[in-house]
C-alpha cells in the first residue's frame, strides 16, 4: 500500500513539474519577442533648399533656433546691429551674411566641437525680416517696404507683392536704384519692352536695399477751344492730332489752324511752338486751341 502511495506521489510531482515548465516557457516567449523588437528609426532629415536659393540673414532679422531634444538651447532672438546673436553656451555667434542652411551648420558644428551636444540637429527659421528688404514707391497698389524672401527675386515679383501698378495711373517705365559693388546703381526698365518676346533678361534681379520707383503717367494739358480741357495722359508716341481727338476735338468756335504748344526747353525756359498735326508731344506740353475769327 505504501509503495502504491509513493508511486502516485511521484507521478503527481512529475506532472506538476511538467506544467510548471510549460507555463514558464509560455511566459518567457513574449519576453523573448519583446527583447528583439527594434526601436523605430529616426525620421530622415528634411531636405533644405540650396544656398543659392536662399536670402542671407542680416542685422535686424528675428530668428527662431530649435535644437532637437535640447529645449534649453532653443530660443527666438534678434540679430543685433553687429550681425550677431547671444546664444546659450556659445556666447556671441555671428550670423549676418550667412544663409539659413549655413547658419544651422555653423551652430551645430560649434555645439559638437565644444562637446555640448553629441549630434546636434539645428533648425533655424527667420520669423521677421528686417535686413533683406526693398522699397517700392510711386504708382503701385500698396507702396511700402517688402522682404526679399529668396535671393534672386525679380523686379516683377516685387511689383506683384506691392499690388502691381495702378491701372490708368502708372508709367511705362520703372526705375530701380540702389548700390552694386559699392557704387550707385540706376536702371530704367521699359515695361512694354520687358514683356515682348525674347526680352526676359530685362526683368532684373532686385538686391536688398534697392528702391523700385513707378513714376506717374506722363501728362499733357489741353486748353482753349477744346471740348474737354484739362490734363490728359500722354500715350507713347502720341501726336498732336491724337491729343486733340482724345480731348474731344475743337469746339464749334475753335479752329486747329494756328494751334500752339508751349514746352519747357532743356535750359528750363518755356518756348512756344507751332507744330504740325503729325508732330509728337512730350511730357508736360501745353496745347492751346485758339478761337476762330470767322
Q: Which helix (H) or strand (E) holds 63?
A: strand 62-67
Residue whose C-alpha cell is 481727338: 245
Per-residue pLDDT tens for 45-83? Answer: 333 444 555 678 988 899 999 999 999 999 999 999 899
pLDDT tens profile 170-194:
667 899 999 998 899 999 998 888 8
Whether 102 contacts 86, CB under 8 Å: no
Using an 8 Å Cβ cutoff, are 83 and 73 in contact? Answer: no
Give yes or no: residues 123 and 61 share one domain: yes
Same-domain status, 253 and 236: yes
Choose the final residue of a domain: 161, 193, 216. 216
- What are the beta bridge partners of residue 189? 174
Residue 29 or residue 92, greater confidence: 92
Q: How many residues does the chain have?
A: 294
Structural domain boundaries, residue 265: 219-289
Judgement on whether residues 119 and 139 belong to the same structural domain of the protein: no
Regarding whether 150 and 121 lie in a shared domain, the answer is no
pTM here is 0.60
Spacing of C-alpha 39 from chain mean position: 42
Residue 284, domain member (yes or no): yes
Q: Is residue 96 part of a domain?
A: yes
Residue pair 151/53 in contact (Cβ under 8 Å)? The answer is yes
Which of 84-98, 193-207, 248-262 is predicted with the least confidence, judged by mean pLDDT? 193-207
Amino acid at each position: 500500500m505504501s509503495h502504491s502511495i509513493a508511486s502516485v506521489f511521484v507521478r503527481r510531482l512529475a506532472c506538476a513539474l511538467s506544467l510548471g515548465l510549460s507555463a514558464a516557457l509560455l511566459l518567457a516567449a513574449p519576453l523573448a519577442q519583446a527583447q528583439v523588437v527594434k526601436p523605430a528609426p529616426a525620421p530622415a532629415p528634411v531636405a533644405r533648399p540650396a544656398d543659392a536659393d536662399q536670402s542671407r540673414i542680416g542685422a535686424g532679422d528675428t530668428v527662431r533656433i530649435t535644437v532637437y531634444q535640447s529645449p534649453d538651447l532653443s530660443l527666438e532672438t534678434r540679430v543685433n546691429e553687429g550681425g550677431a546673436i547671444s546664444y546659450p553656451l556659445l556666447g556671441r555667434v555671428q550670423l549676418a551674411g550667412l544663409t539659413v542652411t549655413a547658419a544651422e551648420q555653423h551652430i551645430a558644428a560649434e555645439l559638437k566641437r565644444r562637446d555640448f551636444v553629441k549630434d546636434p540637429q539645428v533648425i533655424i527659421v527667420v520669423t521677421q525680416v528686417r535686413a533683406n528688404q526693398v522699397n517700392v514707391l510711386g504708382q503701385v497698389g500698396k507702396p511700402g517696404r517688402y522682404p526679399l524672401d529668396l535671393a534672386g527675386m525679380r523686379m516683377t515679383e516685387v511689383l506683384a507683392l506691392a499690388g502691381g501698378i495702378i491701372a490708368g495711373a502708372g508709367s511705362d517705365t520703372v526705375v530701380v536704384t540702389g548700390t552694386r559693388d559699392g557704387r550707385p546703381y540706376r536702371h530704367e526698365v521699359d515695361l512694354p519692352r520687358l514683356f515682348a518676346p525674347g526680352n526676359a533678361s530685362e526683368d532684373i534681379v532686385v538686391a536688398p536695399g534697392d528702391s523700385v520707383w513707378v513714376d506717374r503717367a506722363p501728362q499733357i494739358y489741353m486748353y482753349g477751344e477744346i471740348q474737354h480741357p484739362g490734363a490728359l495722359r500722354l500715350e507713347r508716341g502720341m501726336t498732336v492730332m491724337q491729343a486733340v481727338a482724345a480731348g474731344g476735338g475743337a469746339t464749334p468756335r475753335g479752329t486747329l489752324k494756328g494751334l500752339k504748344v508751349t514746352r519747357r526747353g532743356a535750359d528750363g525756359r518755356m518756348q512756344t511752338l507751332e507744330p504740325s498735326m503729325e508732330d509728337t508731344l512730350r511730357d508736360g506740353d501745353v496745347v492751346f486751341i485758339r478761337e476762330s475769327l470767322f
